[in-house]
Chains A and B, each alone.
Chain A
Amino acid sequence: MADEALFLLLHSEMVAGLYRAAEQGEGGTGADAVAARCVLQENGRCTTKLESMGFRVGQGLIERFTKDTARFKDELDIMKFICKDFWTTVFKKQIDNLRTNHQGFYVLQDNKFRLLTQMSAGKQYLEHAPKYLAFTCGLIRGGLSNLGIKSIVTAEVSSMPACK
């Protein structure tokens, strides 16, 4: 249980630290339009950094978790593994809802996402929520990539603390 607190704190600190560094980096630019574009670029860069960190961690984690498990039958089996075992080990709960169109598109829904529960449920922080999901997207992408699946993972938050 204590490990969770440590990881949650480290994660929120990582997000805050990266964005703070980015803001400081581009302070003092000239015209407003340039500044606005810089902010967007920096935000994009931070999200990419977080996602690639998650990717590395996901790759390592999935290797350790699947050391002793049997070979997966198909894509759906892998997705079920991610929803149940992987998510439980990382976030101490399972994914609440998995939907698919059986053509390679999956939606995982978590109604009480651990990394968002610390923030107040309301519209106030909705725009900042995606920053906290970037790492987890990378985590899933890394895990899938080490299981042999190339994927694109995106996240959507419509109402805290649920996310897809």
Chain B
Amino acid sequence: SRELFVLTYGALVAQLCKDYEKDEDVNTCLDRMGYSIGVRLIDDFLARSAVKKCRSYSETVDMIAQVAFKTYLGVTPSVSCSSAAGNEFSLILDKNPLVDFVEELPAERASLCYCNLLCGVIRGALEMVHLSAEVTFLQDRLKGDAVTEIGITFLRKPEDRKQKRS
């Protein structure tokens, strides 16, 4: 059940806060763990949903928002494209199930990205389908913003870079 996952995640963050003094270290740790999980989760996702190959960045992001988030977390964030080049997107989460049991961040942990695991998961999963991206939190409800917003910026594919050199 989802509660088990949410509670376990909370206990994990609490333990990491005890282990590491700096918020950035906790954030990095969560991101790294998320990455390893994402790398494996993508297999489970593809097996479960048998989706067709995505032909564009925006299709990929739609897939993440409408299918992946729905399957694993039960929520569907809304997608918006925030750059003319078509490689920067935002997922806007109205309701974030990971923070169901969290009221607010403690005062000494003001820059903790509680859900940083999610960023790592998305990054890892994308990398396994040969798309490299930067994923960060742009807005966080726990820090007082109105909504929680995850930004995905697709980076140039390595093949493009090689072509430029030659």
Contact = CB atoms under 8 A, between A and B. Distances in A.
B44 A13 contact: no
A49 interface: yes
A57 B36 contact: no
B72 A57 contact: no
Given A9-B37, A17-B32, A57 B11 contact: yes
Interface stretch (B1-9, B57-65, B131-139): B1-9
Interface size classification for chain B: 20 to 34
B5 A53 contact: no
The 5 A-B pairs at the shortest CB distance, nearest first, are namely A53-B11, A57-B7, A56-B11, A7-B5, A9-B37
Given A57-B7, A89-B1, 11 more contacts: A7-B4, A9-B37, A9-B44, A10-B33, A14-B33, A21-B29, A49-B15, A49-B19, A56-B14, A60-B3, A89-B4
29 contacts: A2-B44, A2-B71, A3-B1, A3-B2, A3-B72, A6-B5, A7-B5, A7-B8, A9-B44, A10-B8, A11-B8, A13-B33, A14-B8, A16-B36, A17-B29, A17-B32, A17-B33, A17-B36, A49-B15, A53-B8, A53-B11, A54-B11, A56-B11, A57-B4, A57-B7, A57-B10, A57-B11, A61-B3, A89-B4
